[in-house]
A and B are shown apart, each in its own frame.
Chain A
Amino acid sequence: MLSAKSNANTSVSYSKRKPLNKTTIIGWSFITIASVLICLFYFYPMVQALIMSFQSGTGTNLTFTGLDNYARLLKDPTFITAVKNTVIYLIIQVPVMILLALFLSVILNDKRLKFKGFFRTAIFLPCVTSLVAYSVIFKYLFGVDGIINMMLMKLAFISEPIQWLTDPFWAKITIVIAITWRWTGYNMIFYLSSLQNIDHSIYEAAKIDGASSIQQFFKITIPMLKPIILFTSITSTIGTLQLFDEVMNITKGGPGNSTMTISQYIYNLSFKYTPDFGYAATVSYAIVIMIVIFSIIQFKVAGEKNA
């Protein structure tokens, strides 16, 4: 009697745990490799970088120096210039690109539009190029004797060539134009995909109510696409804060340091100047902090509109 009872007890607890056990083990085993690799190549280096940011020295001979690197960071003119440049790229380029991509995707979403496939492919095409390849092409296009200046002069927009790459102001503009060219089509595809999920009858109803195209865009399209706009603005922000390939290959950070980005500064500190891995790690945490701040701001802005 007693043994039968205890037996039943154990079998109950066993069967309770059994399905959990089996699926848990199999489920976990499916995600193990990915989790281990991400810990090994993302989280572990992040911890390493944090430790290194309190160390200093040349090459791999690092000694603990406390907050020295952080004190140096706040007084470092090159770092401050790099942050300024990066923020300028960010606040000009990201909004321009996102509005442009939205605008193009709305036009492309018209059901009666002809040659839709051609336009979509053409505008997405820049995303196929490697960042390095297109940067080198842009360097030649925007040279003083380059094709852009030649065309602008032929069309009489300008009387003498613009110093695209050698003037601090125009060099920044060149970088902004280059990134916009490369990424607008990419963002457009996201908007196009989610526009196709919006029920067309909403627009029909708005039209009957007398809403203009512009009103429809701001009152229907933008609110409906809000989640995807948030997604693309965060990914674009993270991308711009990490800008490296273009600047390295179009202007090399110059003239002076006028186009230098934070990523490029980290690269220079680690592999170009006398290597100071500790200070480079400190600078890299500046990007991490900026990404967190900008992401929180973007979530807040999107969230407040929701309420």
Chain B
Amino acid sequence: MLKKLFGYGVLIIASIVSIFPFLWMVVSATNKSVDVTQGRILPGTHLVENFKNLLTTVDIVPALINSAKISISTTILSLLIASLAGYGFEIFKSKSKDVVFNILLLSMMIPFAALMVPLFRMFGTISQTVPFLGIDTLTAVVLPTLTTAFLIFFFRQSTKMFPKDILEAGRIDGLSELGVFFRIYVPTMKTTYAAAAIITFMASWNNYLWPLVVLQSPENQTIPLLISNLGSSYSPDFGVIMMAIVIATLPAALIFFIMQKHFVAGMMGSVK
């Protein structure tokens, strides 16, 4: 009994600590700037005003559109590329393929800070010949983050449990290998795709360092860049900043809540 109470106590405290910053963020979006700095915990009446001020003083709409463009294209392309690779590595066996797989996994050890400068120079060189792919373009944000060894690993692990007979049946029915992939594999792996989509979308939506390096003009800025600039400005309106943070957090949070069941199931598939 005592053990049970202790368990609930720990969980309640952990939940409060986890949720509190969110609650305070939402509450602060309804308060005046002064109230936010004084740590007011009760909801105020400035919700509409903060929202209006946000729209008129900060370019949040273009930043939201940029972030959406980047995250949606990254998610779609990443899932396609990584699942093709995960399928390829698991379904077609050869020794040299495992060597390649292990080499690709090594890329997980490479810190982004080590890639940042060479990538910046690489896109600088591209800029001189193909401007729409180079520095200060949304494509330059997307390209280096498109393929991660983690996502390939994730799909390969989940493919391990895939009933191979179904694929064989599809082949006998005359489907090409791509046909088998798109008609049989993709629909069956919905849960894995959902989990991978959440991970990729959130990572892309929240990416900060590479966009900070590669995007230069204000009209190209993404949501994290905008929030960071607001947070370090000299005469900040804290209510407006909190409103901006709420709006920036909403898309990732909504996607997570809608797909939460798939997420946990998908994660479990990859851990097994």
Contacts and interface: CB of A to CB of B under 8 A. Distances in A.
Interface string B176-190: 010001000000000
B42 interface: no
Interface stretch (B48-56, B57-65, B90-98): B90-98
Interface in A1-53: 20, 23-24, 26-31, 33-35, 37-38, 41-46, 48-49, 52
A277 B202 contact: no
Which 8 A-B pairs rank lowest in CB-CB distance, beginning with the nearest? A27-B92, A30-B88, A130-B206, A147-B39, A45-B118, A34-B85, A284-B114, A48-B118
Contacts of A131: 206, 208, 224
Given A37-B143, A122-B14, A244-B208, 9 more contacts: A27-B88, A30-B87, A33-B81, A49-B115, A126-B18, A145-B37, A244-B113, A266-B113, A266-B114
A25 to B, nearest CB: 9
Contact of A213 (B3, B10, B149, B224): B3
Contacts of B119: 41, 45
Interface residues of A, number: 91
Contact of A38 (B3, B19, B104, B116): B104
A228 B271 contact: yes
B115 A41 contact: yes
Given A60-B124, A288-B111, A267 B84 contact: no
B163 interface: no
B167 interface: no
A34 B115 CA distance: 18
B18 A181 contact: yes
B142 to A, nearest CB: 11
Contact of A34 (B19, B112, B152, B223): B152
Interface of B: 3, 7, 10-11, 14-15, 17-19, 21-22, 24-25, 36-39, 41, 81-82, 84-85, 87-89, 91-92, 94, 97, 100, 104, 107-122, 124, 143-144, 146-147, 149, 152, 177, 181, 202, 205-206, 208-209, 212-213, 223-224, 227-228, 230-232, 238, 241, 245, 248-249, 252-253, 256, 260, 264, 267-268, 271-272
A131 B204 CA distance: 12
Contacts of A52: 117-118
Which one of A129, A228, A238, A242 has the greatest number of beta carbons of chain B within 10 Å?
A: A129
Contacts of A128: 202, 249, 252-253, 256
A141 B120 contact: no
24 contacts: A26-B177, A37-B146, A41-B143, A41-B144, A41-B146, A42-B115, A49-B115, A60-B124, A130-B248, A132-B228, A136-B241, A146-B39, A185-B18, A193-B267, A196-B268, A242-B112, A244-B208, A248-B208, A267-B113, A267-B116, A277-B121, A281-B117, A284-B113, A284-B117
